[in-house]
Structure 1
């Protein structure tokens, strides 16, 4: 249980606005994700899809943003947790007058997602008598529409642009007021009494009027569906609860209509309070899809790994190796600023869309081929069309590795980034392995082998620093890059050089167990959580097990995620989370590290014996 005290409204900041990012819980239904603050305010919900405009956006606009809140009168204390092996949230609310339990769900069915969005909130009296206030204030969907209400005998109907919705509630909830864009209600509950309120929504389609009893029952149906899915996971190693919670967090980010995984569920949460690195992560990156296939294969989530791999191959066949796509597989929109939104804790600009869609990153080649190798290594089969696509990508990589790119960190200045060259090496190394095993056409294998070896020689010549005893960020610099921890997973080079590189990274970029992404990043952003788990994984693969365990547990202790949800970054001084949340890469890295700590160390070392 995660316990937080909430002051009375007159003493509070605007609902949902003042809480650290790690205090938000996340709900999902296979299409959308909602964030709920400890005071019961839903501060972020994009409907019907994760990359739709937000219906509730108060986390970015505490003054005028939309939200959906249930809270008791006066001051109160909350203890929050997810139900075991589930993404159903339970909150124990204690006031001077009594106790209640709030159970919340973005509902689904045992068969999967519903055709509409259904946000259900059940309130149960446990002791004493508690009066609750309920308020829904509808947002402008990113300053694109003006909300309005429509009278209806079956419930409060709302319109926001193409979005049609309805509030449904049990008869003991009394509607007090319906204004332009808001609905206010109240309910008083004593021990043994319960009430349910729900929001239903659909875009550009009719919306059925559903009995509130049916909606309430689907909370438990949804819980059963989550537990059924989690029950099939295979992981019994160290940090079992953290791994299972990370798997459930990743499941929230999976867009079930296509099999894509969103990098995160939010947009524009800052990488530093007051900074301007406020990006939109509600899209599907090739990198994240690749790491998802790998992670889910390692913990037995076969359907999701197959769906992610199929999505990946379909996108490559249709569009080639773009950095990212929409969740439906289309080109991501141009980045633009929403001037009307001030941003989380005043951190603007609020950016929608992502400029990285126009970049080239050699890393996508390595991610694609590593994923294909893991997929067939687990006993699955690559179809002929996908094999031809992969063969063409290997040829493309053999040409393009000589060029500069934007690197794994999507930097504006193209450069010969060391990690990008290692990723190109990785791609051709795996392409050769796949072809020699009969999974790819073998005509070009001699060329792939030659270019693979040329890349390795180029890295040796240009990217190793005797002064630092480390691989550097790019040639001609002594700066370091924490993503080079991934070179250990990929099997590049020998143990001595890689181990020395890890030591240099920890010494310069480390703050306790946390790591900044690269030299100089501490002036612009927080520590990148995935880097810490990559470091733990790399140390374990180098048989530095005690250090690996210390980094893993130290990271969890440093960031202390409230209900188990991690964002992109954290401030090493305070432990407060930064950046978008839930962040898929953070949870993926945790799973990879835990599996490696368990002893799952499949990737052999050495592009040559005695390297280093």
Structure 2
């Protein structure tokens, strides 16, 4: 369908409570406020004709556009080149504090840097996924867009000597249209302020330039806190900034992606809302952030996880933890379909909310407790009450691990005995035992050890496929699953064990396509959904990590370098890569950028190893203590 940019033709800006997507030709086609998971204000990304947008582009019939981030920041610059001159849009959101707010500012500076350039401006909000009507009040200094529940004020950035907003008018839909002509060196623009119905005020260029300087300074300072000094530093920095942009500062929660409804297959039904915090993603992010030296962000995520553990409010059959929550920790994620939107390039249904929230996914307990253990190793130690709650969680795991579940990929084809879920329950109990023994904390260690060992034996007996000579997706199939790439990373099996090397070889033959990795084969393992999907970018980076740990450094590096070519022009990744190389799925995806950081850290460490040890895998975690040592530590 015409009118839709590629998913990858976007940059991301944000203020640490919400964010917006900006296309390479100057349109903001996705913006929700006041939070990531709030109803949309601009939603043309999911319905080009009815979703709403903020568009600024040259009036020239022919122009080219380029896009870049102002170095080491989240300030986005879109440049236009025409025969008459060169112009720029500079989009950013001044950083909001850690206190939740309904008021957010989105600033668009419009600048002519060479020659002359005319710009056409269209402001077309569609509140609440275009379900809420609004009225528009237009003045010489801006406009107020006001609906029954939502409001937004637009302030025009101009100088006293300027003419009034040239040719500005409001049409029958309440949209504002204007034209602006600038000469070299002139800067004007717009300030959109959500959560307020005025008053409209005059905004000077000097004011937005000051906000620009403050925003640039914030991001440069934040990035300067990184301790990463290895290869691929620019790539790692961009992934770190992207993760920060997807973090909700008031709670520390990290959204899986700032978008909803972007398809895993164009025209298909695999269109999910990712604007929530998954326990799994939050857990993995603790590793990545601590790996870069961001202890404050890791601690905030740790507190978010701790709060969820301490609440222990069971969802619909999901156990003590839900698999995902809203960014503030609430659990109301009822799924609905926006029937009046056609979806990205006709990909319907457009889903808001997420019906998978009540699924039983046993792996989340291992990921959560593993992140607590990892944070503990970096000095972020859990207090007494937190320990009691975690013990209750581990008691539940020790009693409930041996049952079918929906699995990590949130399939809707029924519960199975997924190997990955069992693996992460082994991790949960193993890390609980380590924490108890290292700190001398009270715990039913005999029971935890017995269940941990039972899981280990079951995986080795039932999770291994003699026919495939590989670990399998679940006990009732011989299908391979890329989630099991984490088996060596969590210390369940050594990276050079023959069983593991055989598994890697089997995955390479079935799941890997010129370095890109599929999650699994949907035809061989029905997941309850129609259609197909692309390769999963996080799985590709997990494959790099596994290869590096196994000492296959040349292959790991080539795979990693190839994967970097699939990033968009700004270094951002969506969830998947289609057969054509096009990015598909929600964008940008936190899990992909987390996996990129982890793979880069592991690969860089291995490449830096001395030649005599370059082929040896780096240990994922400290070696387990013998039982006698554990017992002595527990008695200390």
- TM tier, smaller: over 0.9
From 127, 130, 135, give the equivalent of 2:114.
127
What is the SS of the residue equivalent to 1:489? coil
From 252, 258, 265, give the equivalent of 1:259.
252
CA–CA separation in structure 2 for the residues paired with 1:492 and 1:109: 42
Other-structure match for 1:414: 415
Greater Cα offset, 327-336 or 249-258: 327-336
Query: 1:509-533 CA deviation, whole Å, 9 max, x = no partner?
Result: 1111111111236951111100000
From 577, 581, 606, give the equivalent of 1:575.
581
Q: Residue 30 of structure 1 contacts residue 113 of structure 1 at CA under 8 Å; is this kept in 2?
A: no
CA–CA separation in structure 2 for the residues paired with 1:343 and 1:276: 10
What is the SS of the residue equivalent to 1:196? strand
CA–CA separation in structure 1 for the residues paired with 2:137 and 2:560: 52
Alpha-carbon spacing, 1:224–1:54, altered in 2? closer, same or farther (3 Å)? same
What's the CA shift for 1:486?
Answer: 1.0
CA–CA separation in structure 1 for the residues paired with 2:118 and 2:106: 21
Q: Note the 1:162-561 alignment, pairs <5 A.
A: 162-171=149-158, 172=162, 173-179=165-171, 180-202=173-195, 209=201, 211-213=203-205, 214-318=207-311, 319=313, 320-412=320-412, 413-438=414-439, 441-494=441-494, 495-520=497-522, 524-557=532-565, 559-561=566-568
What's the CA shift for 1:578?
Answer: 0.7
CA–CA separation in structure 1 for the residues paired with 2:400 and 2:303: 25
From 608, 616, 620, give the equivalent of 1:603.
620
Greater Cα offset, 147-156 or 88-97: 147-156
Other-structure match for 2:573: 566
CA–CA separation in structure 2 for the residues paired with 1:108 and 1:177: 31
CA–CA separation in structure 2 for the residues paired with 1:352 and 1:388: 36
What is the SS of the residue equivalent to 2:128? coil
What is the SS of the residue equivalent to 2:221? helix
Query: 1:99-122 CA deviation, whole Å, 9 max, x = no partner?
Result: 112211012269999762111111
What's the CA shift for 1:154?
Answer: 4.6
CA–CA separation in structure 2 for the residues paired with 1:114 and 1:453: 48
Q: Residue 276 of structure 2 contacts residue 324 of structure 2 at CA under 8 Å; is this kept in 1?
A: yes
2:75 paired with 1:88: yes
Q: Residue 263 of structure 1 contacts residue 288 of structure 1 at CA under 8 Å; is this kept in 2?
A: yes
CA–CA separation in structure 1 for the residues paired with 2:385 and 2:204: 48
Q: How many residues were matched structurally?
A: 591
Q: Residue 237 of structure 1 contacts residue 598 of structure 1 at CA under 8 Å; is this kept in 2?
A: yes
What is the SS of the residue equivalent to 1:342? coil
What's the CA shift for 1:82?
Answer: 0.6
Structure 1: unaligned runs, 5 residues or longer: 1-11
What's the CA shift for 1:479?
Answer: 0.5
What's the CA shift for 1:69?
Answer: 0.7
Q: Residue 142 of structure 2 contacts residue 200 of structure 2 at CA under 8 Å; is this kept in 1?
A: no
TM-score, normalised relative to structure 2: 0.89
Other-structure match for 2:11: 25
Greater Cα offset, 503-512 or 259-268: 503-512
CA–CA separation in structure 1 for the residues paired with 2:98 and 2:438: 38
CA–CA separation in structure 2 for the residues paired with 1:504 and 1:46: 43
What is the SS of the residue equivalent to 1:306? helix
Q: Residue 429 of structure 1 contacts residue 452 of structure 1 at CA under 8 Å; is this kept in 2?
A: yes
What's the CA shift for 1:570?
Answer: 0.9
Alpha-carbon spacing, 1:371–1:208, altered in 2? closer, same or farther (3 Å)? farther
What's the CA shift for 1:93?
Answer: 1.1
CA–CA separation in structure 2 for the residues paired with 1:410 and 1:608: 35
CA–CA separation in structure 1 for the residues paired with 2:29 and 2:502: 45
What's the CA shift for 1:221?
Answer: 1.1
CA–CA separation in structure 2 for the residues paired with 1:265 and 1:116: 18
What is the SS of the residue equivalent to 1:142? helix
Other-structure match for 1:9: none
CA–CA separation in structure 2 for the residues paired with 1:112 and 1:396: 35
From 571, 593, 596, give the equivalent of 2:599.
593
CA–CA separation in structure 1 for the residues paired with 2:46 and 2:358: 26
What is the SS of the residue equivalent to 1:185? strand
CA–CA separation in structure 1 for the residues paired with 2:226 and 2:600: 14
CA–CA separation in structure 2 for the residues paired with 1:608 and 1:346: 55
Query: 1:181-203 CA deviation, whole Å, 9 max, x = no partner?
Result: 20111111111111121211116
TM-score, normalised relative to structure 1: 0.93
Q: Residue 96 of structure 2 contacts residue 104 of structure 2 at CA under 8 Å; is this kept in 1?
A: no
Q: Residue 50 of structure 2 contacts residue 130 of structure 2 at CA under 8 Å; is this kept in 1?
A: no
Q: Residue 30 of structure 2 contacts residue 42 of structure 2 at CA under 8 Å; is this kept in 1?
A: yes
Greater Cα offset, 405-414 or 146-155: 146-155
CA–CA separation in structure 1 for the residues paired with 2:262 and 2:70: 27
What is the SS of the residue equivalent to 2:30? strand
CA–CA separation in structure 2 for the residues paired with 1:508 and 1:608: 36
Q: Residue 465 of structure 1 contacts residue 472 of structure 1 at CA under 8 Å; is this kept in 2?
A: yes
Other-structure match for 1:6: none
Structure 2: unaligned runs, 5 residues or longer: 314-319, 525-530, 607-617, 627-636
CA–CA separation in structure 2 for the residues paired with 1:521 and 1:271: 16
Query: 1:427-462 CA deviation, whole Å, 9 max, x = no partner?
Result: 1111110110117x3331111111000001011111
What is the SS of the residue equivalent to 2:487? helix
Alpha-carbon spacing, 1:234–1:158, altered in 2? closer, same or farther (3 Å)? same
Q: Residue 56 of structure 1 contacts residue 141 of structure 1 at CA under 8 Å; is this kept in 2?
A: no
What is the SS of the residue equivalent to 1:268? strand
Query: 1:132-190 CA deviation, whole Å, 9 max, x = no partner?
Result: 00111111422431122134565200113422211111334425211332011111111
What's the CA shift for 1:42?
Answer: 0.6
Other-structure match for 1:8: none
Query: 1:9-46 CA deviation, whole Å, 9 max, x = no partner?
Result: xxx943xx2x2111111111111110111111111000
